Amino acid sequence: MLKIENLNVKINDKQILKNFNIEIKNGEIHAIMGPNGTGKSTLSKVILSDKRYTVESGKIYFNKEDITNKKTNEIAKKGIFLANQLPCEIDGVTTADFLRTALNNDDNPISLYEFINKINKAQEDLKMKSDMIHRSINKGFSGGEKKKNEILQMKILEPKLIILDEIDSGLDVDSLKIVCENINDYLVEHKDASVLIITHYRRLLDYIKPNFVHVMVDGSIKCSGDYSLALEIEKEGYGKYTLNNDNNSSAVIVDEYE
Ligand SMILES: Nc1ncnc2c1ncn2[C@@H]1O[C@H](COP(=O)(O)OP(=O)(O)O)[C@@H](O)[C@H]1O
Ligand SMILES: [Mg+2]
């Protein structure tokens, strides 16, 4: 579904992503863990072609199509969804209006009746207050409410690839459980959908079990493994992955570090 090859990305002449590679197949859940400032959010934004970042070299393919530097709305329409680490506030546009417009721009728009039913159900599933979808997007929302609003958008837009950038930050324990249950239900209903989870904490991965866990340090993946790698990170931190940073072009399997 998603393939990133040798991606090098700069912002303001500072190189952030360094020969970054990953492949996510249909139905797979991948988790990326890594210290602050290592380029995780940059990666998520570059996939959606945030123009503040410059792709120096490398390619991003979605279902074999080269989407590097394509327009963000075209990429979103193909089925890639990003739940931002820091969702922005958009004054004057309600969540309901935004989502209705987004769906109407689709090739198969749904009726108003269908839309209302769908958004009401999504809101109830997420245990959100009923007025929230009629307020300006994220305006005055708490951190946790913003995160729930991202997942509401995911449920309505029905993407093929879901990128979750620290969806767990700002959520209380009950809300985290609700959000994860909604994501898991979505994955049961959309068997081919894939997920890229960016997180610091294993507890999110206890709810949404990843097939692969990657450790990202200094702009590239240093080590890949399964869920047990998340346990190891929690116990030991990122220390051993930050020691030898000169060769950051290739990932290694976890056994080489044992
Ligand atoms: N607009 C910007 N201008 C300069 N540096 C930036 C900008 N955005 C991000 N960076 C830098 O890029 C690096 C990676 O940031 P980010 O991708 O947000 O890291 P992470 O999500 O892994 O914590 C950080 O050092 C950050 O300060
Ligand atoms: Mg980040």
The pLDDT tens digits of the residues spanning 158-171 come to 999 999 999 998 89
Q: Across the chain, what does the average pLDDT equal? A: 91
Q: What is the pLDDT of residue 106?
A: 64
For a substitution probing ligand 1, which of 17, 42, 51, 168 has the most ligand atoms within 8 Å of its CB? 42
**Structural domain of residue 178, as residue ranges?**
2-86+160-257
Encode pLDDT of 185-230 as tens digits.
Answer: 999 999 999 999 999 888 899 999 999 999 999 999 999 999 999 9
Q: Among residues 174, 128, 117, which one has the least CA distance to residue 151? A: 128
CB 2 within 8 A of CB 61: yes
218 assigned to some structural domain: yes
Q: What is the pLDDT of residue 210?
A: 97
Displacement of CA 141 from its chain's centroid (Å):
20
Q: What is the pLDDT of residue 241?
A: 85
172 assigned to some structural domain: yes
28 assigned to some structural domain: yes
Tell the residue nearest (CA) to atom 19 of ligand 1: 37
Q: How many domains does the chain have?
A: 1
d(C-alpha 139, C-alpha 163), whole Å: 22
Encode pLDDT of 107-151 as tens digits.
Answer: 777 899 999 999 999 999 999 998 999 999 999 999 989 999 999
At residue 257 the predicted structure's pLDDT band, cuts being 50, 70 and 90, is very low
At residue 240 the predicted structure's pLDDT band, cuts being 50, 70 and 90, is confident
Provide mean pLDDT across the span 17-42: 96
Q: What is the pLDDT of residue 40?
A: 96
Any atom of ligand 1 within 6 Å of the Cβ of 40: yes
Angle at 45 between CA 167 and CA 224, to 5 degrees: 70
120 assigned to some structural domain: no
Q: Among residues 62, 65, 29, 25, which one has the least CA distance to residue 47? A: 62
Residue predicted with more confidence, 54 or 255: 54
59 assigned to some structural domain: yes
In the reported structure, the alpha carbon of residue 168 is separated from the centroid of ligand 2 by a whole-number distance in angstroms of 12
- Residue 193, domain CATH: 3.40.50.300
Q: What is the pLDDT of residue 108?
A: 72
Any atom of ligand 1 within 6 Å of the Cβ of 39: yes
At residue 243 the predicted structure's pLDDT band, cuts being 50, 70 and 90, is low
Any atom of ligand 1 within 6 Å of the Cβ of 37: yes
For a substitution probing ligand 1, which of 15, 17, 32, 38 has the most ligand atoms within 8 Å of its CB? 38
Q: What is the pLDDT of residue 258?
A: 29
Q: What is the pLDDT of residue 246?
A: 46
149 assigned to some structural domain: no
116 assigned to some structural domain: no
156: buried, middle or exposed (CB in 10 Å: 19+, 13-18, 0-12)?
buried
Q: Among residues 215, 200, 198, which one has the least CA distance to residue 253? A: 215
Ligand nearest to the CA of 238: 1
Q: Minimum mean pLDDT among 89-93, 149-153, 165-169, 251-255: which range?
A: 251-255
251 assigned to some structural domain: yes
φ and ψ at 35, to 5 degrees?
-65, 165
